[in-house]
Amino acid sequence: MSFRALELGTADLKRARQFWTETMGLEVLSSGPDFITLAAGETRWTLTQTQAPPAIAHFAFNVPENLFDEAVAWLQERVPLLTGTDGSETLFDFTNWNAHAVYFTDPDGNIAELIARHTLPTSRREHFEILGMSEIGLVTDDVPGTATSLGLPPYRQGGPQFQPVGDEKGLLIIVERDRLWYPDNRHPAQPIPFFVTFNDGVTFSSSGG
């Protein structure tokens, strides 16, 4: 379920372009007055100018599972790392997911993540790189009902407020409205519009309502 493409809004296209290209080093594939399409590894990521600032999004990039330390060092050179609730933790060991992760925010306040999934040995590399988008948060008032309606396999154990669906290459992270976004638990989750195309051609659209 790799993400072939993701479309997401931004409150300030010029600012977003500067951050993602100059600070984070993503390649521009195409652009226009109200959009920019970036190469986020294998994912075509399009940011579009919105009239009203969108709510905070959560998304994640897969990175080589054998190069998590290199990913952390690369990220620390560019942005401050987000901490956990008590402010002491910046590196997160997800034992149940067999993964390690680190978080940061972009100029829109979105909570972004680099995640090394050790269940993906095919993601091993000799040098660090962003491999592609692997998660987008989907906010709803009915987590179990939304998960069932999507018809995608549940990923690991979820609950009434949180249920990932898909697989390690591509996950929709279904969370209940107003559940606080991990890791700092400061921002209540709100619906956002986005559009995903998976590598098998399946598409999913969230209206953000």
Q: What is the pLDDT of residues 122-143, one digit of tens each?
A: 899 999 999 999 999 999 999 9
Task: List, in order of start, the domains of the chain with CATH numbers.
Answer: 3-201 (3.10.180.10)
Q: Which of 5, 84, 92, 68 is nearest to 40 (CA)?
A: 5
- Is the per-residue pLDDT at 148 higher than 90? yes
From the CB of residue 12, how many other CB atoms can be counted at a distance below 10 Å? 15
10-14 contacts: CB < 8 A, separation 24 or more? 10/47, 10/48, 10/49, 10/50, 10/54, 10/108, 11/50, 11/52, 11/53, 11/54, 11/108, 12/49, 12/107, 12/108, 13/47, 13/48, 13/49
- pLDDT at position 52: 81
Q: What is the mean pLDDT of the chain?
A: 95
What's the pLDDT band for 6 if we cut at 50, 70, 90? very high
Give Cβ neighbours of residue 70 (< 8 Å, ≥ 6 apart).
Answer: 64, 127, 128
- pLDDT at position 26: 98
- Is the per-residue pLDDT at 209 higher than 80? no
- Is the per-residue pLDDT at 158 higher than 90? no
List % helix, strand, coil for the chain (3-state, nearest 5). 15, 40, 40
Question: Do residues 152 and 158 make contact, with C-beta atoms less than 8 angstroms apart?
Answer: no
- pLDDT at position 47: 98
pLDDT digits (tens, 9 = 90+) for 14-38: 999 999 999 999 999 999 999 999 9
- pLDDT at position 51: 86
- pLDDT at position 88: 85
- pLDDT at position 80: 97
Would the pTM count as exceeding 0.85?
yes
- pLDDT at position 202: 87
Structure-token pair, residue 122: 């095919």
- Location of structure tokens 């249920």: 163
- pLDDT at position 195: 96
Distance from C-alpha of 173 to C-alpha of 195, rounded to nearest angstrom: 14
What's the pLDDT band for 1 if we cut at 50, 70, 90? confident
What radius of gyration do the chain's Cα atoms show?
16
**What is the average per-residue pLDDT within 53-71?**
95
